[in-house]
Chains A and B, each alone.
Chain A
Amino acid sequence: MDLTLYVWRQNGPEDKGKLEQYEAKNVSPDSSFLEMLDEVNEELIHSGIEPIEFDNDCREGICGTCGCVVNGIPHGPQEKTTACQLHMRQFSDGDSLTLEPWRAKAFPVIKDLAVDRTALDNIIQAGGYTSAYTGEVGEANQTLISKPNADYAMDAAECIGCGACVAACPNGSAMLFTSAKIAQMAVLPQGEIEAAERVNNMTEAMLNAGFGNCTNHYECEAACPKGVSVKFIAKTNREYVKALAK
């Protein structure tokens, strides 16, 4: 299949950037989206054009490194799929694809489609530590965690920190990411002691990084490659109210 690509090219954070048109010829429908970009880059290198810069690492859909906005949707049109797990069979011969980086003040463009997501790390850092018993190994059933709570925490922990929620949010908010990180600790006994500080510090770090505020559009959940639910945002709001009372 043949595709027309409109790719955001930007030389660095200060560069203005613009969309450039490229042709992707003879693309196999079985190739992944990133493999298609690899092939386009080969062609670009041959014709003396600088290849398109894009982030990627595991290419197994688990690391959260890849991702760009494809035709207006982070990670492309397939639900609950990272860009590396998106396959070209999702598109048709002759399609035009517009590729843009995650757009948010807190995510400065490094180059082309690659953005700096340090702001997400800073939010996690603001979460601080959890108090843990040290010393001898405890009894196996010393700290009981119910199955529903364990599942809940695991669902929140599915977040791979790719930043698609920010990219999809009309407000450029990182609320789903931040909430997932808060909620995964909030229902576990290990996370209880610092719960109040955690929610205050992490949401403050989110705001200070230049992310917007959640207004419940739920675009984040729709774009999340792991289907992280906005129920964690409600949970975070509850945690915040609990922290107010302290």
Chain B
Amino acid sequence: MQMLQSSIGRKLVMAVTGLCLVGFIIVHLLGNSSIFIGADGINAYAEHLHALGPIVWIFRIVLLTIFGLHIFFGIQLTLENRAARPIDYNQKKNIRTSFGAETMIYTGLAILAFAVYHLFHFTMHLTNPEISVGALPLDALGRNDVFTMMVLSFQKFFISLIYMGAMVTLLLHLSHGVQSLFQTLGLLSSNTLPTMEKIGRAAAIVVFVGFVSIPVSILLGLIKV
């Protein structure tokens, strides 16, 4: 418990939960990209996920805990860091840091807001019930038609815009977060830090391009019902 009051201890929690969340994002991206195979791909993927039954719920609870810890300590540490400089500079020039690093709390909160919307949209089917799986007929093999739900959703420009905007915040968050977590875990040296900064930014771009390619492909009509 001492650890959860210490400076480095809480940063380690941020780093480990951050690493788990990056892992989740990559798995999520790989799962989503089954949409490029067509209805057979993503509907089968969704079917397999739901067939896991209680494991899905265990996974959700673990993920929610990880997400919760990351958010809680992220906010707590940010508040402490702000309090550490009660009177700001009239003029302050940052030399080394990045826009992504300076906006972590804002991009983090934006991702949280997006995650809530995303669950309302695709998991609970609250925001657009008329084009959600409950309202759509099952596909030819009797599975929930996730494919049609995604296509009809992203054909709405405004929904695509929300998703793409959220992915920009994720891009910024990861562009700092990935290298930062390895530094916090104490895994970097002067030699490896610049490389890890490049890898972190590259990973952020790969995740961004991967996720955004789905609504873009649908908007361009490359994927259609």
Query: A: which residues have CB within 8 A of B?
Result: 6, 8, 19, 69, 71-73, 98, 100, 103-106, 168, 170-173, 175, 199-200, 203-204, 206-207, 210-219, 221-223, 229-231, 233-241, 244
With A100-B90, A210-B84, A234-B188 already in contact, the answer to whether A219 and B96 are too (CB < 8 A) is yes
- Which residues does chain B contribute within 8 Å of A210, judged by CB atoms? 83-84
Q: Which of A71, A72, A106, A237 contacts B186 (CB 8 A)?
A: A237
Cβ-defined contact, A244 with B90, below 8 A: no
B92 within 8 A of A: yes
Per CB-CB distance, the 6 closest pairs between chain A and chain B, nearest first, are A72-B93, A172-B84, A212-B84, A238-B186, A171-B81, A237-B186
Are B193 and A231 interface neighbours, CB within 8 A? yes
Set of chain B residues within 8 Å of A211, measured between Cβ atoms = 84
Candidate in B3, B81, B82 with the most chain A CB atoms within 10 angstroms:
B81
Contact call A172/B85, Cβ cutoff below 8 A: yes
Most A C-beta atoms less than 10 A away, residue of B8, B12, B93, B96: B8
**What are 25 pairs between A and B in contact, CB < 8 Å?**
A69-B92, A103-B87, A106-B84, A170-B94, A172-B84, A199-B8, A206-B7, A210-B83, A211-B84, A212-B81, A213-B77, A213-B80, A214-B184, A216-B183, A217-B96, A219-B95, A219-B97, A233-B183, A234-B186, A234-B188, A234-B189, A234-B193, A237-B184, A237-B185, A238-B186
Interface set of B (CB-CB < 8 Å, partner A):
3, 6-12, 77, 80-97, 101-102, 104, 176, 179-180, 183-190, 193
Q: A206-B7, A233-B183, A241-B12 are in contact. Are A212 and B95 (CB under 8 A)?
A: no
Q: Which residue of A6, A73, A98, A215 contacts B101 across the interface (Cβ within 8 Å)?
A: A215
**Given known contacts A207-B7, A210-B84, A244-B3, A215 and B187 CB-to-CB distance under 8 angstroms:** no
Inter-chain CA distance A233–B88, complex, in Å, is 25
Q: How far is the CA of A73 from the CA of B91 in the complex (A)?
A: 9
